[in-house]
C-alpha cells in the first residue's frame, strides 16, 4: 500500500518539494525565508527615513497588514483574498537591498489600492481597458516608490533607491521626475 495515501495532502506536497530527499518541511514554515525577519526589518528601517515611507509603515500597523518574506525568485505581490503581502527574495539573500525596499513599497501600495477600491483589473476586460488599468496602477506605485527614493536622496543623501529605479527602468524618465521635483521645491 502506498504510504502517501495515509498522509495529508500538505505532507505529500511538502515531501515532493522538500529540500532533501525524504525530509518533510514544517507546514508552518514552508517557503519562509530563513532571514525573512531581518530582511523585512531592514527594509522597514529604510522606509522609516522617508516621510512617505513612514506613511506606508503607519498603514501596515493600522491595518495590521501581514507581510511574509518567502524564498523565491518570483515577483512579490499582495494577495487581496488572503489580506497578505508576500515579499520574495532569493534564498541566499541576507539583508534588505534597494530592490527589496522598492518591492515592499509596491506590495504595501497594492494593499492600499485594494482598500481604496482600485483592485487588480479582471483579465476578462478588453485588452485596451485591461492595459490602461494596469498602467494606471503601476504608475501610482511608481510614484510612491519615487517619493520614497527622492526623500532618501534629498534628506539623507542615500541614492541607492534612485539608482535601482534607474537600473530597473528608464533612466531618463527618473531624471525627469527628479528635475520636476527640484523645480517645484525651489
Write out the three cell numbers for 133.
Answer: 488599468
Domain presence at residue 58: yes
Output the pLDDT for position 173. 85
Write out the three cell numbers for 89.
Answer: 527574495
CA geometry: angle 125, 131, 136, nearest 5 deg:
115
Domain presence at residue 154: yes
Output the pLDDT for position 7. 54
Write the DSSP string, 150-182: HHHHHHH---HHHHHHHHHS-HHHHHHHHHHHH
Domain presence at residue 167: yes
Instruction: State the DSSP H helix or E strand holding residue 63, giving kind and residue range, or none if neither.
Output: helix 51-63
Output the pLDDT for position 169. 85
Q: What is the pLDDT of residues 164-175, one digit of tens each?
A: 999 998 788 899
Which of 8-17, 45-54, 176-185 is the least confident region? 8-17
Domain presence at residue 14: no
Output the pLDDT for position 170. 79
Domain presence at residue 175: yes
What is the extent of the structural domain holding 50?
A: 27-184
Domain presence at residue 79: yes
Domain presence at residue 174: yes
Output the pLDDT for position 11. 57
Domain presence at residue 153: yes
Sorting pLDDT into bands at 50, 70 and 90, what band is 30? low
Which range, 19-23, 67-71, 106-110, has the best average confidence (pLDDT)? 106-110
| Mean per-residue pLDDT over the chain, rounded | 87
Please choose, from the candidates 103, 101, 97, the residue with its C-alpha nearest in 3D space to the C-alpha of residue 77: 103
Output the pLDDT for position 59. 97
Please choose, from the candidates 96, 92, 120, the residue with its C-alpha nearest in 3D space to the C-alpha of residue 38: 96
Q: How many CB atoms lie within 10 A of CB 19?
A: 7
Q: What is the pLDDT of residues 91-150, one digit of tens each?
A: 899 999 999 999 999 999 999 999 999 999 999 999 999 999 999 999 999 999 999 999
**Domain total for the chain?**
1
84-89 sheet: strands from edge to edge: 66-71, 84-89, 77-79
φ/ψ of residue 124, rounded to 5: -85, -5
Q: How many CB atoms lie within 10 A of CB 46?
A: 23
Amino acid at each position: 500500500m502506498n504510504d502517501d495515501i495515509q498522509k495529508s495532502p500538505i505532507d505529500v506536497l511538502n515531501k515532493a518539494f522538500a529540500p532533501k530527499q525524504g525530509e518533510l518541511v514544517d507546514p508552518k514554515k514552508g517557503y519562509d525565508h530563513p532571514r525573512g525577519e531581518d530582511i523585512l526589518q531592514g527594509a522597514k528601517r529604510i522606509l522609516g527615513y522617508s516621510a512617505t515611507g513612514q506613511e506606508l509603515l503607519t498603514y501596515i500597523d493600522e491595518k495590521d497588514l501581514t507581510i511574509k518574506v518567502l524564498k523565491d525568485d518570483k515577483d512579490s505581490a499582495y494577495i487581496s483574498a488572503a489580506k497578505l503581502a508576500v515579499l520574495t527574495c532569493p534564498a541566499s539573500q541576507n539583508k534588505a537591498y534597494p530592490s527589496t525596499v522598492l518591492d515592499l513599497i509596491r506590495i504595501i501600495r497594492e494593499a492600499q489600492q485594494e482598500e481604496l477600491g482600485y483592485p487588480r483589473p479582471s483579465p476578462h476586460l478588453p485588452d485596451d481597458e485591461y492595459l490602461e488599468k494596469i498602467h494606471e496602477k503601476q504608475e501610482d506605485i511608481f510614484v510612491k516608490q519615487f517619493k520614497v527614493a527622492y526623500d532618501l536622496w534629498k534628506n539623507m543623501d542615500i541614492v541607492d533607491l534612485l539608482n535601482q529605479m534607474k537600473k530597473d527602468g528608464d533612466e531618463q524618465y527618473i531624471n525627469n521626475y527628479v528635475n520636476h521635483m527640484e523645480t517645484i521645491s525651489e
